[in-house]
Amino acid sequence: PHIVRRQDYRPPDWLVPDIALDFALDAAATRVHATLSVTRNGDHDRPLRLDGDGLLPLEIRVDGAVLAADQWSLDGGTLTIALSNSAHMVETFVEIAPQGNSKLMGLYASGGLLCTQCEAEGFRRITFFPDRPDVLSRYSVRMTADKALYPVLLANGDPVEQGDLPDGRHWARWNDPFPKPCYLFALVAGDLACNADRFVTMSGREVQLGIWVREADLPRTAHAMQALKNSMAWDERVYGREYDLDVFNIVAVADFNFGAMENKGLNIFNSRYILADPETATDIDYDGVEGVVAHEYFHNWSGNRVTCRDWFQLSLKEGFTVFRDQNFSADMGSHAVKRIEDVRILRAAQFQEDSGPLAHPVRPESYMEISNFYTATIYNKGAELIRMMALMLGPERFRAGTDLYFDRHDGEAATCEDFVRAMEDGGEIDLAQFRLWYEQAGTPHVRALLSHDPATQSVTLLLEQSVPPTPGQPEKRPMAIPLRTALFDPETGQHRGDELLMLTEARQSVTFAGWPTAPILSINRGFSAPVIVETNRSQADLAFLSAHDDDPFARYEAMQQLMVNVLVGRIGGQPVDEDAVVAAIRDTVTNPLLDPAFIAEAIRLPSEAYLGDQMAVVDPDAIHAARDALQRRIGAELEPLWRDMHGKTKANAFALSPAAKGARKLRNTALLYLAASGAADGATVAFGQFSEADNMTERQAALATLANGASAEREAALDIFYNRYRDDALTLDKWFQTQAFAFHPDTVDLVEELGRHKDFTLANPNRVRALYGAFAGNQWAFHHKSGKGYRLVADCIVALDKLNPQTAARLVPPLGRWRRFDEARAAMMRAELQRILLEPGLSKDVTEQVSKSLE
């Protein structure tokens, strides 16, 4: 298979300053007439090569003349045309079949709509074109379609004209004045209703906003609209970036390979990130809508106005845009809780990726299939890189850096290096060593050892770093690691200032004077660097920090580390002090000064997967047993507290305020511990919450709590939930997901049954993720010692690959982590990977992930 390498980048041979597209839309057969003005780029005599995927030219014209069969060739999808002059008009005619497009890339049909997805390489499934992000064109798009089936016709940019045609058809034309790469092209045709609103930009221009959904879904679009307006105002205030077209449209579609897409002026969304109401959306869903709406909106500058030169630069737009959406969400809610959530996601997804066979740098060196590189490393670790630069620069200089970046590269296709240089020039900082973060894969390990010398009344912090080997990178150089650090005086419970220490050597030490007694170390505060820190702090030190650290992340982290130590000790058969955990939880829960949402985060036990990451060989059964036992003990010892908390946090009426959300989070955590306590009425209380809840956050949490157990209420609640939401796909996903996530000994068999359920379908990516994606993330169930979990997921990958390779490939990484497990499990996981690889006609997507996982 062909491997694309970053070092092989060459500027395009031909540019396409303008393109006119004419679509005769029809679900079964759509005709596409493309007119490209092409200009030779540089002094060369190479022919024009246009990418195509599954396209057959019906006719080709150059400067108006039809080409004979020997004037062009088609090889592996690529259309080659020899051209003599420096500029030509090239026309192609093709026919495509949206209805039969199960890959959901290119032009496809979803629930009666026709819509597009082009990033990364979907445009070549629509028409012949140099499908690479550094070819920027102005688009003019004309669509004709049946007016009854497709009354609404949308494309990028601004609408210019529309009209009726004979035979019940109509047409519309849209122009996008901003040159853009073809991955940002979009059109939508369908019977859609609009939530219309407006936004006045900081320079006083009025923008028409539209969120387009099925008529019945209109009442569920208010939150997305508010998020959009907040995002527009935030980007003006925080980055000085204004919206640049007269219209901004968002369309929600039911079948979508990922979250959403930032097409210029016409964002297309997975409906799960647009639709929300209290009846069907949890608080997490509401936050997801807000975050993704913001993310796609922010791409208008970080991605669209300044785009990527090639796909190796993907993190240029994704890492930066995630950083922007994270900070936006923090500003809309709680900074402390948002940071904790983001770090939890980073550790669960990115640290795992970085320590396995699919580890790659934030700026990768090669790929077989670019769709496989929309990863937690590119997105979330990429965001951490921006965050570290912002921290080192401080807010003013960081803003000077981003201003320079946007000004310097507006209208261009840029590189990660361009971004770093703008930070250096605008922020006046030397980032030479910092650049290694883009090059070296693997999560750095930092050892921080504090030693006290009573004789000199000083304390020395010894810092050591190492970056583990990753595929293709056996040796690593020391990184520049910013560590926010403070030393706490155990007497006063306070520290003497938060310092930013730069760890740049493999080993270095700092001495602090004026400590007659030993202080307690708080390090990597705010998770200032995406590293794994190991310290010589005692359980007593951690308990101290869990009660006194004024940095909320560090306080949370101390609590988590306290729990991890107890759990890992217990799994290893060592004597452990669980009372310390129970006491820390009691103190945290009863501390009136703490935000309820923070409390809920802090007292939650580390996930089974995170515990697995702390072990040399993951033992899923031992981890589950230890975690479950500790959860039961915490439940039992603090039962009155949980009961009280559960009652106290019940609201009279639903609200979406941070306080109301925090109360629900705490209430659900209290329910979890109450159910774990072994109290006779645990299932009754959970069922009560399930039945009485006026919102999905409490209803689903109660369902999840019941799903972990074996009560009669479990089946009743699942039935009620199913019958209530059987016709609402997004909510029915929760029914599948909750069962696939459940800590239940029979989960693996249940998932097998659910795979045969009449409402299960491989055609809808959300449904696949709800069942198999969730299941593969349920460590205890997926790694069932029978190996059945592996077989289920492998079967799904094989079947799905024939329909939708991109989504199939996303299920491979959990199987690829076999090196982390015992011999028996590893052998079974490998055997499933080998079986997948033998499948005839396997996609490039799955081939790449599976073969790398076996290497």
DSSP-based helix, strand, coil % in the chain, nearest 5: 45, 20, 30
Q: What is the DSSP letter of 472?
A: T
- The alpha-helical segments, DSSP class H, found in 538-619 are 539-548, 552-571, 578-589, 596-602, 608-613
Residue with token string 């057959």: 56
369 binds, among ligand B3K, Zn ion, none (CB under 5 to 8 A by kind): none
The span of 293-301, 325-333, 434-442, 590-598 binding ligand B3K (CB under 6 A) equals 293-301
| Identity at 16, one-letter amino acid code | V
The span of 295-303, 488-496, 518-526, 539-547 binding ligand B3K (CB under 6 A) equals 295-303
484 binds, among ligand B3K, Zn ion, none (CB under 5 to 8 A by kind): none
Rounded to whole angstroms, what are the CA distances from 205 to 198, 200, 756? 10, 5, 53
342 binds, among ligand B3K, Zn ion, none (CB under 5 to 8 A by kind): none
How many residues bind ligand B3K (CB under 6 A)? The answer is 12
**From 123, 258, 488, 735, residue interacting with ligand B3K (rule: CB under 6 A):** 258
Neighbour-count burial of 826, counting CB atoms closer than 10 A to its CB (0-12 exposed, 13-18 middle, 19+ buried): middle
What does the CA dihedral 637, 638, 643, 646 come to, rounded to 10 degrees?
A: -140
- 416 vs 641, beta carbon nearer Zn ion: 416
Q: Are 590 and 602 in contact (CB under 8 A)?
A: no
* Cβ at position 322, least distance to Zn ion in Å: 7
| Residues 102-131 as x/- pattern, contact with ligand B3K by CB under 6 A | -----------------xx-----------
How many residues bind Zn ion (CB under 5 A)? The answer is 2
272 binds, among ligand B3K, Zn ion, none (CB under 5 to 8 A by kind): none
Determine the Cα–Cα distance for residues 12 and 41; give it in Å rounded to an integer. Answer: 7
Q: How far is C-alpha 272 from the chain's CA centre?
A: 14
Q: Tokens at residue 216, please?
A: 């019945």
- 415 vs 560, beta carbon nearer ligand B3K: 415
192 binds, among ligand B3K, Zn ion, none (CB under 5 to 8 A by kind): none
Which residue's beta carbon is nearest to the bound ligand B3K?
119
| Identity at 673, one-letter amino acid code | Y
Helix (H), strand (E) counts: the chain:
31, 32
* Cβ at position 262, least distance to Zn ion in Å: 6
Radius of gyration of the chain (CA): 28
323 binds, among ligand B3K, Zn ion, none (CB under 5 to 8 A by kind): none
Q: Is the dihedral of CA 386, 391, 396, 400 positive or negative?
A: negative
- 184 vs 609, beta carbon nearer Zn ion: 184
Rounded to whole angstroms, what are the CA distances from 849 to 375, 808, 855? 12, 10, 10
Please confirm whether the linkage preceding 120 is cis (ω < 30° from 0): yes
The span of 142-150, 294-302, 346-354, 735-743 binding ligand B3K (CB under 6 A) equals 294-302
- 299 vs 627, beta carbon nearer Zn ion: 299
Determine the Cα–Cα distance for residues 183 and 168; give it in Å rounded to an integer. Answer: 32
258 binds, among ligand B3K, Zn ion, none (CB under 5 to 8 A by kind): ligand B3K
Q: Are strands 307-308 and 507-513 parallel, antiparallel or unpaired?
A: unpaired
Neighbour-count burial of 569, counting CB atoms closer than 10 A to its CB (0-12 exposed, 13-18 middle, 19+ buried): middle
Pick from 139, 141, 137: which is nearest to 174 by CA?
141
371 binds, among Zn ion, ligand B3K, none (CB under 5 to 8 A by kind): ligand B3K
The span of 23-31, 258-266, 649-657, 753-761 binding ligand B3K (CB under 6 A) equals 258-266
Determine the Cα–Cα distance for residues 466 and 445; give it in Å rounded to an integer. Answer: 5
374 binds, among Zn ion, ligand B3K, none (CB under 5 to 8 A by kind): ligand B3K
Q: What is the DSSP letter of 493?
A: T
* Cβ at position 130, least distance to Zn ion in Å: 23
- 383 vs 729, beta carbon nearer Zn ion: 383
Determine the Cα–Cα distance for residues 459 and 535; give it in Å rounded to an integer. Answer: 15
The span of 75-83, 128-136, 312-320, 455-463 binding Zn ion (CB under 5 A) equals 312-320
Pick from 504, 378, 387, 523: which is nearest to 448 by CA?
523
Determine the Cα–Cα distance for residues 247 and 230; give it in Å rounded to an integer. Answer: 16
296 is catalytic: yes
- 380 vs 561, beta carbon nearer ligand B3K: 380
Query: Which is the catalytic residue, given 119, 262, 296, 384?
Result: 296
| Residues 144-183 as x/- pattern, contact with ligand B3K by CB under 6 A | ----------------------------------------
- 296 vs 832, beta carbon nearer ligand B3K: 296
The reply on whether position 261 binds ligand B3K by CB under 6 A is yes
Q: Which residues contact 217 (CB under 8 A, 6 or more apart)?
A: 193, 252, 271, 275
* Cβ at position 327, least distance to ligand B3K in Å: 16
Pick from 84, 79, 93: which is nearest to 20 by CA?
93
Element (H, E) at 393: helix 382-393
**From 295, 627, 665, 699, residue interacting with ligand B3K (rule: CB under 6 A):** 295
Q: What is the DSSP letter of 11?
A: -
The span of 253-261, 558-566, 597-605, 796-804 binding ligand B3K (CB under 6 A) equals 253-261
- 265 vs 635, beta carbon nearer ligand B3K: 265
Q: Are strands 260-261 and 307-308 parallel, antiparallel or unpaired?
A: unpaired
- 318 vs 353, beta carbon nearer ligand B3K: 318
Q: Are strands 48-50 and 106-110 parallel, antiparallel or unpaired?
A: unpaired
Span 583-622, contacts to Zn ion by CB under 5 A: none
* Cβ at position 260, least distance to Zn ion in Å: 8
- 299 vs 624, beta carbon nearer Zn ion: 299
* Cβ at position 809, least distance to ligand B3K in Å: 10
Determine the Cα–Cα distance for residues 814 and 821; give it in Å rounded to an integer. Answer: 12
The span of 226-234, 316-324, 486-494, 593-601 binding Zn ion (CB under 5 A) equals 316-324
Pick from 43, 38, 130: which is nearest to 79 by CA?
130
The reply on whether position 228 binds ligand B3K by CB under 6 A is no
Determine the Cα–Cα distance for residues 813 and 797; give it in Å rounded to an integer. Answer: 11
**From 374, 515, 687, 790, residue interacting with ligand B3K (rule: CB under 6 A):** 374
* Cβ at position 299, least distance to Zn ion in Å: 6
* Cβ at position 370, least distance to ligand B3K in Å: 8
| Residues 315-334 as x/- pattern, contact with ligand B3K by CB under 6 A | ---x----------------
Q: Tokens at residue 134, please?
A: 């550094």
The span of 83-91, 259-267, 538-546, 752-760 binding ligand B3K (CB under 6 A) equals 259-267
The span of 256-264, 360-368, 432-440, 456-464 binding ligand B3K (CB under 6 A) equals 256-264
Determine the Cα–Cα distance for residues 622 and 571; give it in Å rounded to an integer. Answer: 6
Going across the sheet that includes 206-213, the strands are: 193-200, 206-213, 247-253, 266-270, 260-261
* Cβ at position 231, least distance to ligand B3K in Å: 13
* Cβ at position 256, least distance to ligand B3K in Å: 10
Neighbour-count burial of 311, counting CB atoms closer than 10 A to its CB (0-12 exposed, 13-18 middle, 19+ buried): buried
Residue with token string 């209420």: 713
* Cβ at position 120, least distance to ligand B3K in Å: 5
**From 91, 217, 296, 424, residue interacting with ligand B3K (rule: CB under 6 A):** 296
What residues does 137 pair with on adjacent strands?
180
* Cβ at position 178, least distance to Zn ion in Å: 18
Residues with active-site annotation: 296
Binding residues vs Zn ion (CB under 5 A) = 318, 321
Binding residues vs ligand B3K (CB under 6 A) = 119-120, 258, 260-262, 295-296, 299, 318, 371, 374
